Every structure is written in C-alpha cells, then in structure tokens.
Structure 1
Amino acid sequence: MDRIRIVGGSKLNGTIPISGAKNAALPLMIAGLLTDETLILDNVPRLADVAQLQRILGNHGVDIMSAGKRPGDHEYQGQTLHISAANIIDTTAPYELVSKMRASFWVIAPLLARMHEAKVSLPGGCAIGTRPVDLLIMALEKLGAELTIDGGYVIAKAPGGLKGAEIDFAKVTVSGTHVALMAATLAKGTTVINNAACEPEIVDVADCLNKMGARISGAGTPTITIEGVAKLNGTRHTVLPDRIETGTYAMAVAMTGGDVQLSGARPELLQSALDVLVEAGATVTPNNDGIRISRNGVGIKPVNVSTAPFPGFPTDLQAQLMALMTTATGSSHITETIFENRFMHVQELARFGARIHLDGETATIDGTAKLRGAPVMATDLRASVSLVIAGLVAEGETMVNRIYHLDRGFERLEEKLSACGATIERISG
C-alpha cells in the first residue's frame, strides 16, 4: 500500500497547474451512454475514479479510447477520451463495480432513458454518512419509470420510454440533479427540475448535453427546464477546471506561506472559498492565467464558516479549511450542513497536536503555534488531503497512510507540491 512522506516547514513557491474537474468528468463520461455517436472529452484528469468508471462503462459495451499526448503537451493537460456507446450490450451495473464508487450509480439515468431498462447495484464509495439514493429514485419515478429494489439492486423499467414531468427536490442534491437532467434529455415532453443544484459541474454537463442536441435551459439556477428530444449526437467538450483542487492548493499556500500561481483556475467557480482565504490573511489575485495565492509574513486569522450548496462554501473544502485553522491565532468555528459524519479527519488532525472540539455539526478549532509531524491515516477523499496540508507545516516527518483515497481525486498531488518546494514523496509498497 502506497504512503506519502512529508517533512514540514517549506514555503510553497512556483506554479501549480489545475486539472480537469473530477466532479464534472464523471457525469460527462456517463452522459456518453445517451448517444450511439462518439463523445470526445478533453482535459479529463488521470484519477483512480476515472479509471474505475471506464471499467464500469466497458461492462456496458462502451468503447473508450484514451488519446496519447501530442507534441508540446504538458503532462497535466489531462487526457482526451473518445467514448463510443454505439452498442450497449448489458444494462446491468454489478455490485462489484458500483460498490467502489457512488457516482457510478448514475448510469441508471442514461440506460433508462435510452434502453428503457436498467439494473444497477446500490452504491458504495466514501463513508460519509448515509447519502441515500431516495431522491434519485423519486426523480426517475416522476419521469414514469417503474422501480423496485431486489437483492441490493435497483431494477428500473420504462417500457414506453420516459415522460417529461415536474420534479421537486425536497433538498438540494447534486447527484439527483445530474440523474434527473440526463434522464429528461430523452424523455417525451417537458421536464422542470425545481430546487435544482446550481454547482458549476451541473452547468458543465448541461453545456455538453446541449452541444449533443439536448434542449436544456436554466442550468446554474434553481429551476432547470428540459425539452425532451428523440436522439442525441456526439460532440467534443472540454472539462472545466477543478474548483476543489484549486481551493485545496490555495489553502496549502495559505497554510505554508509563499506565492503560487494556480494555472488554469477560474475564480468564479469558488468565490466564497477565496473570500474566506482573504479573511484568513491570504492575498488572492485573479489574473489571465488563473489565480495567484500568497501569504508572506501575515499570521493566519481565525474564521467562522458554514458549508452550503453552491455558491456557498463547498463541503468538499471543509476538511482543508479545518487544517488551515489549526494554526490560526484564535478560535475558528466550522459548521458542516451538507453531510453528517464528515468530521472523520478531526481525530487524525489531533495527532498533529491540533485542538479541535466537536459539538454536533460544529467544530471549534483553537489555533496552536506549532503542529508536530505524526503517522496519520486517510479516511476519505477530502479528509486525506487535509492531512497533507497539515503535514506541510508540521515540525518533523508526517506519514500519510491509505492514500488510495487521494488518488481518487487528486492528480499527481505529490509532484505538483514538490515542484513548488514541498518536501513530499510517495513511498510505494
């Protein structure tokens, strides 16, 4: 099992290229099931989750070709995937594949829309609370699907095809919005999604679907309208930059001090997080090539933050912000409103000497002057990178174990950080 070794104390200086967004790439790949023509996706990050989804789509008969690098390509430019679902040979997504990644459950939407049937295992993935699929099932039932759960599988049928409907989500759900959006593109008639998620990744998927011939309006607002079409075509689309990776490296720079250009980042995708970083004492400068982050000589100031759906502070940056606040001068408060059980990193941060007190969904972080390196264990994707951020400033050596979580969402993390002066290396085996 690979581990990451960090020796803290180095400032970060240089340039970090931002990869394509995992949270857009996965649903975009799944959207390839909606057409019998080829969907070409550029700027797809090289991640364990992307490779796993390629295996899942291959199980349905999808051919995926990864184009090689061109002369002059930079290693972080992402890969180009040619996705061809001309012949779907199997509408079952088995447990052994779906259990490894929650997002793979979403294949139920395009399979149902195009093939009028699907049998998909209930999902696995990160152990963050229950994260049930009831809202996804409700959306598909509204569109006329008949669903039953048998032996851990959702069995879905829509003999005459899906039909447009009004879908009202009781709470904002990114996965529910993705599923409803994909399913409705080929439904007969008009679908209106109310209380839709407004995340940039939803907008990116809707933009790609519209290029494929879908008729979607309102993506990025709480009300999305979809006029169903009979058929979608292939297209070419570039995955937007990863705002969570952007925010993660921005917090690493704020933590260690230094001056780093986040190349390719788009500030409008994470303005609320950038505002919090400014409040904490970092300097944030958007420019033509992305965002420049620096903190030179100024101490880290405490902040009070609640996570919220976009455009609020992202739950996927909560653990990273907590790591940053462990060395602030004073007490910070972070309230997690999206997922229960998303404070698993707290006990690992405590191993560095961090002082964190939990009260329900709120964490109080009392800043300390020094963190000390320690052996720690990654518990989920975002929590694991918070341990890396803490390790970058901790005195002595930190060893992060179970880093397969990191490889699911961060492309070449140790290479990007070491290029900016961090003492960090991957230890194999």
Structure 2
Amino acid sequence: MGKFVVQGDTVLEGEVKISGAKNAALPIMAASILCDEEVVLENVPRLQDVFVMKDILLSIGFNVIFDKNTLIVSRAKDISCEVPYELVRKMRASFNVLGPIAARAGKARVALPGGCSIGVRPVDFHLEGLKKLGFSIKVEHGFVEATFEKRVEHATITLPFPSVGATEHLMTTASLLEGTHTIIENAAMEPEIVDLQNFLNAMGGNVKGAGTSRIEVEGVKKMNSVRYRIIPDRIEAGTYLIAIAASGGMGAVKNVIPSHLANPLGKLEQIGADLRIYKDTIEISMEKRPKSVDITTNPYPGFPTDLQPQMMVLLSIANGVSVITENVFKTRFLHVDELKRMGADIEVSGNVAIVRGVKKLSGAPVEGTDLRATAALLIAGIIAEGSTEISNVEHIFRGYENVVEKFENLGARIEYVPGETEKNREN
C-alpha cells in the first residue's frame, strides 16, 4: 500500500479551491440511469469512487466519457440487470443503482456493498422502502435481487433513521414510477440530497421537500437530457479549514457554499478561529492556541461525522478538555489509537471520546484506517513535531481530489510513495 511521509511543524497559508462533492456526484451518477438521453455533469471530482461508479455505468450498458471534471453519460445498448460483484464490493454507494436499474429494466441483481470499515451500515432501510414501492426483494448468495411486481398508487416510507443513502436511493427510484405518489418521512436533509432533487427535477422529475424531513415524489414516465453542475464538497472544505486552524495558519477556502458548513464554522469560531465569510469563499486565521469545545455528531444540520476525525486532531492540541460524542457511526474512533501514538491524550468509552489537549503532537509511524481517518492523520502529521509516516493511505484518494497538491500549495511538506494499488489507480 502507498504511504505519506510528512514533515511537521508546518503553518499552512494560502488559498485552496474546493472540488465538486463526491457525495453528490455518486447518487447523481446513479440517477443518470433513469435517462435514455445524454446527461452532462460538470464539476465532477476525479476520485477513485467516481471511477468505480463510472465502471458500473459502463458495465450495465452506458457510454461514459470523463474529460477533466466533466462527465458525459449516454445510453449505449439495453441495460444489463446485474452489476459485477468486483465493482460493488469496492464502494458502498454503488448499491444505489439497484432501484434505478430495476425501475428501468423491471429487475436488478446487485451484490451487497463494500466500502470503508467504520462499522456495520445495513441496507435494510433501502430494501424495506423498495418493497413499499412495489418491488419484491430476494437476498441470497451475497446478492440482492429486486423485481418490479406491481404499481402502487401511494407509498409512505418512514425511515427508522435519516439515512442519506436510503433517502437518495428511494427518491431516485420513485422518480421513474409513473402513477405512484411517494412520501419519504424522516428523510435525511443533507445538501447533497437537495442537489440530487435539483438534478432529478432538471431531468423532468417531480420531487419536492429535499432539505426537510419529508420528501414527496410524483413518478414520471420519462427523464430528459440535462446539463448539471455538482455542488462543492463541504467535507473537503471543512477538512482544509480545520487543517489551517490546527496549524495556526491563515488561508482562504474557495468555491464553497458557506451555509452548508454552518455547524462546523460555529465550532471553529468557538475554538478561537477568526472567520470571514463571503458568497463562495471562507477566510480563516488562527493566531492563538485553540480552545477546547464539545462536539456531538448528528445527521445534517448537526456536526458531520465525516469531519469528526479531523476535528479531533485540532482538539488534541487545544487548551483544555473536549468531549466528542459520535452518534452516527458508533465505531468511528479507529483513528484514536493512531493519534495516541503521536502523543494525543484521548480516552474512549463507547461512543464518547475525552480529548485532553497537549501542547504538541510528535511524528510517528501510523496507519490510515478509513477515508476521513487518513485525512485526520495527514493533518496531524503536518502539525506534529518531526516526521510522520502514514501507511495504507489509499483511502484518502476516494474522497479528496489532488489532495497532495492542494496541501503542498498551502505549504505542507508531503512525500507520496505509491504502493502497487495506487500505481494502478486512474488519475
């Protein structure tokens, strides 16, 4: 596996431009299955997960051209009903093609998904919702088979938890079920879901309510050609803001929608960061040692779980004691032991981490365990005393476009040593 060798004691300064949101691009790519005509997506990040979804679309009969950050999807032939296991196992979001394929072709067979190892994330919510939309579901031999059995006039789906993936999967599938009125209660409210709604409606769909806990979908017969621009990645933006603050630096994060980061920005202000917020730019500076603050992750608009590991790094050098409560992924503390190797003082009990700030982290050999944990360790290496070697870094390329170049432009000193996996990945 590849590794980063990071020289520490670095103060980050400068500008960074945020890429398109991976978590918006993937469900929108899955939703493009609904359309027979050409779909042009702009501001698509060149990431491992995006290339996996591209390969899935190719495997089921679509032409896909990916030039710089523009992705063009068009129908090539009859849609294949089965997605190869070797593709689905690479990424959890790939499971969201099940419903759209079944809505188009009448049936679909997709392997149970893979992805980051941050705890069990069952697909039961997806499957129960599809049943209410008129699909029969069979699970055997590691595959899920969905078959469209009957058209229902009204379907009310109440999610036990506001699952982002289930919300996206069900609203997309319901969009092409002509004659069916679907209500999704306790829906997730993330900005990426609003982006998906806007995309579906731009294709001729009839979806409303995204951004609230109640989404309504009137199924339509056909989707039309569209050109659509993906929103900026709020998690990438938050990662760079936290990194600049942790280093005691100053910089500007550009191509961002500040309202998507309201909760994290509030926490950064509480720790003492000076923020200046403009239409699509956030300027940040951190002149003093950060103050401690308590963090509780929750579904949007709460503090995002995808920024929890990065924020833990910042709080590990804060003045005082911080309490981090993880309410989304109960096992998302795999990075704690690695940070402790670097001198962090962190105690975990269940889904709560007590972080006692130390004056300085020290470089050490550590290992990336998942996408956001690897980003957190990279930040830790940048601010630590001495050199840090981070192994198993392939995770980070799933969620951060040009991550080494962007950090180097801010002044970070990172040597990337590719392993065999990264040597073969598409750039």
Please give the alpha-carbon distance, in whole angstroms, between the structure 1 residues aligned to 2:337 and 2:213.
37
Match of 1:217 in 2: 208
Q: Secondary structure at the match of 1:425?
A: strand
Match of 2:425 in 1: none
Match of 2:423 in 1: none
Are 2:390 and 1:390 aligned?
A: no
Are 2:46 and 1:56 aligned?
A: no
Please give the alpha-carbon distance, in whole angstroms, between the structure 1 residues aligned to 2:410 and 2:311.
20
Q: Secondary structure at the match of 2:291?
A: coil
Which of 131, 142, 155 pairs up with 1:165?
155
Q: Secondary structure at the match of 1:271?
A: helix
Asked if 1 retains the 8 angstrom alpha-carbon contact of 2:35 and 2:222, the reply is: yes
Q: Secondary structure at the match of 1:156?
A: strand
Asked if 1 retains the 8 angstrom alpha-carbon contact of 2:11 and 2:249, the reply is: yes
Cα shift at 1:81: 0.3
Please give the alpha-carbon distance, in whole angstroms, between the structure 2 residues aligned to 1:135 and 1:185.
18
Match of 2:13 in 1: 13
Match of 2:312 in 1: 322
**Correspondences of 1:298-313 after superposition (within 5 Å):** 298-313=288-303
Q: Which sections of structure 2, spanning at least 5 residues, go unmatched?
A: 420-427
Cα shift at 1:32: 0.9
Asked if 1 retains the 8 angstrom alpha-carbon contact of 2:345 and 2:358, the reply is: yes
What amino acid is the match of 2:157? I
What amino acid is the match of 2:77? N
**Correspondences of 1:9-158 after superposition (within 5 Å):** 9-68=9-68, 79-158=69-148
Cα shift at 1:258: 1.5
Are 2:406 and 1:413 aligned?
A: no
Asked if 2 retains the 8 angstrom alpha-carbon contact of 1:31 and 1:110, the reply is: yes
What amino acid is the match of 1:66? F
Match of 2:422 in 1: none
**Correspondences of 1:264-279 after superposition (within 5 Å):** 264-279=255-270
Q: Secondary structure at the match of 1:182?
A: helix
For residues 301-349 of structure 1, the C-alpha deviation after alignment (integer angstroms, 9 at most, x for no partner) is 0011110111110010010110111101111000000112110000011
Match of 1:336 in 2: 326
Which of 220, 227, 241 pairs up with 2:232?
241
Match of 2:182 in 1: 191
Cα shift at 1:122: 0.5
Cα shift at 1:288: 3.8
Are 2:336 and 1:346 aligned?
A: yes
Q: Secondary structure at the match of 2:355?
A: strand
Cα shift at 1:136: 0.3
Cα shift at 1:87: 2.7
Please give the alpha-carbon distance, in whole angstroms, between the structure 1 residues aligned to 2:352 and 2:305.
13
Match of 1:252 in 2: 243
The count of aligned residue pairs is: 418
Please give the alpha-carbon distance, in whole angstroms, between the structure 2 residues aligned to 1:36 and 1:133.
28
Match of 1:71 in 2: none
Q: Secondary structure at the match of 1:51?
A: helix
Asked if 2 retains the 8 angstrom alpha-carbon contact of 1:35 and 1:232, the reply is: yes
Are 2:276 and 1:285 aligned?
A: yes
Regions of 4+ moved over 6 Å: none
Which of 322, 341, 352 pairs up with 1:362?
352
Cα shift at 1:115: 1.2
Q: Secondary structure at the match of 1:165?
A: strand
Q: Secondary structure at the match of 2:103?
A: helix
Cα shift at 1:163: 5.4
Cα shift at 1:160: 4.7
Asked if 2 retains the 8 angstrom alpha-carbon contact of 1:267 and 1:286, the reply is: yes
Q: Secondary structure at the match of 1:157?
A: strand
Please give the alpha-carbon distance, in whole angstroms, between the structure 1 residues aligned to 2:277 and 2:108.
45
Identical positions, percent:
45
Q: Secondary structure at the match of 2:416?
A: strand
Please give the alpha-carbon distance, in whole angstroms, between the structure 1 residues aligned to 2:78 and 2:347.
51
For residues 217-263 of structure 1, the C-alpha deviation after alignment (integer angstroms, 9 at most, x for no partner) is 11110011111111111201100000000100000011001111101
Please give the alpha-carbon distance, in whole angstroms, between the structure 2 residues aligned to 1:85 and 1:303.
51
What amino acid is the match of 1:202? I
Asked if 2 retains the 8 angstrom alpha-carbon contact of 1:300 and 1:325, the reply is: yes
What amino acid is the match of 1:190? H
Please give the alpha-carbon distance, in whole angstroms, between the structure 1 residues aligned to 2:183 and 2:76.
29
For residues 337-382 of structure 1, the C-alpha deviation after alignment (integer angstroms, 9 at most, x for no partner) is 0112110000011110101000111000011011100111100001
Q: Secondary structure at the match of 2:414?
A: strand
> Aligned-residue CA RMSD in angstroms?
1.2
What amino acid is the match of 1:424? I
